[in-house]
Amino acid sequence: MFGAGALGHGEQVSDDVPRRAGRQAGSFTRAQALAEGWTPRQVERRLDARRWRRVLGHGLTAEPSPDPALRRAWAAALTWEGAVVAHELAGAVHRFPASDAGQPGPMRAAASVIVETARRPTGGLVPVRARVWPGDVVRVAGLAVTSRERTAVDLLTTRPWSQALDLFAWLSSRQILSEDALDRLLRRRSGCRGTTQLRRLAALTESGAVSPAERITHDLLTSAGITGWRAGARIVDGTGQIIAVVDLLFEAERLIIEIDGYRAHAGRDAFVADRRRQNLMTALGYRVLRFTWDDLTRRPDVVIATIRRMLNAESADLPR
């Protein structure tokens, strides 16, 4: 059907939305509705009756909930021509974890976009003037969005330290931001806002610890005089393909230590991925021990005793 504006005066109007909304995750603008035949009065009536709702900026929707990340991202992109979805909203599109530990799954994002010319905030949408390098922008479902790598850096440099550390652990466990990429980005961003925090995170990669739990594990091993391990080690199969980057590896004993933090291992997808990679490592002859924050902080002696036992024997039952 064309649009409600195509109907004669007094006729019953349609509750349809502009056709292009179907290609925009359910988002559309007033201008698009008018272009397809709705009148200004019909648009206002739908908004007043909440048949159409505001999402972000100039974006509207007829969907029951305006919150899904892709719909919000489309609403943001439709507000200003040439805008690039960025920061927390780009993180939501890329399915990065939420900054609030109490909200599992993709974040309900704050909304900002990168724009070329000065704009004023509108409808909960914040314009950001920022330099964009080649390769920083990708297309996701038709949207211009900062790449996963660029989005990661934007969030790591703007989130509070504890949240940045959580995100860094999640990114590192999925190889989204490698040590080489971090070094390259630091050189590119020299003097930019947030570089100091990025350098602090880069320093963690020197020891391989990318979370507080991993740092505690390193300290426990060092205090116990246990040596011969490497942090952030790559496990490769017979073809040379990397199948995992593990928290700690005792290479001679083929013993892997994994620290199960909430951020890096939360959610169904992470649960499934963890089991698959552990099966691959076991098939290659590695033994795997997994410890949690509770283990490290409440039972450090048991952690060390378990590791010693595994190191001193080819095969041993774990203490219950």
Separation between Cα atoms, residue 254 and residue 288, nearest integer Å:
9
Q: Is residue 89 part of a domain?
A: yes
Give me the pLDDT at residue 104, please: 38
Which has the closest alpha carbon to 163: 247, 257, 96?
96
Q: Are residues 203 and 118 in the same domain?
A: yes
Separation between Cα atoms, residue 135 and residue 141, nearest integer Å:
17
46, 34 in Cβ contact below 8 A? no
**Of 207, 226, 254, which residue constitutes the final position of a domain?**
207
68, 27 in Cβ contact below 8 A? no
Please report which confidence band the pLDDT of residue 106 belongs to, taking 50, 70 and 90 as the band edges: very low
Statement: residue 146 has pLDDT above 80:
yes
Domain count, the chain: 2
Percent of the chain predicted with pLDDT > 90: 45
Measure CA 234 to chain center: 22
Q: Is residue 196 part of a domain?
A: yes
Give me the pLDDT at residue 2, please: 36
Q: Is residue 318 part of a domain?
A: no
Kindly list the distances between the CA atom of residue 31 and the CA atoms of 20, 25, 82, 104, 219, in Å, as whole numbers in the listed order.
12, 17, 16, 36, 60
Q: Are residues 156 and 189 in the same domain?
A: yes
**Of 207, 224, 257, which residue constitutes the final position of a domain?**
207
Q: Are residues 10 and 154 in the same domain?
A: yes
- Three-point CA angle 65, 128, 187, nearest 5°: 120
Q: Are residues 169 and 224 in the same domain?
A: no
pTM of the model: 0.67
Give me the pLDDT at residue 293, please: 81
Statement: residue 37 has pLDDT above 90:
yes
Mean pLDDT of 143-171: 88
Q: Are residues 62 and 39 in the same domain?
A: yes
Mean pLDDT of 266-277: 63
Percent of the chain predicted with pLDDT > 70: 82
Separation between Cα atoms, residue 46 and residue 54, nearest integer Å:
11
Mean pLDDT of 40-50: 94
Please report which confidence band the pLDDT of residue 174 belongs to, taking 50, 70 and 90 as the band edges: confident
Statement: residue 15 has pLDDT above 60:
no
Q: Is residue 320 part of a domain?
A: no
Please report which confidence band the pLDDT of residue 42 belongs to, taking 50, 70 and 90 as the band edges: very high
Q: Is residue 161 part of a domain?
A: yes
Mean pLDDT of 254-258: 94
Q: Are residues 52 and 133 in the same domain?
A: yes
**Of 207, 226, 260, which residue constitutes the final position of a domain?**
207
Across all residues in the chain, what is the average pLDDT?
A: 82
List beta partners, residue 112: 86, 126
Domain range spanning residue 126?
Answer: 4-207
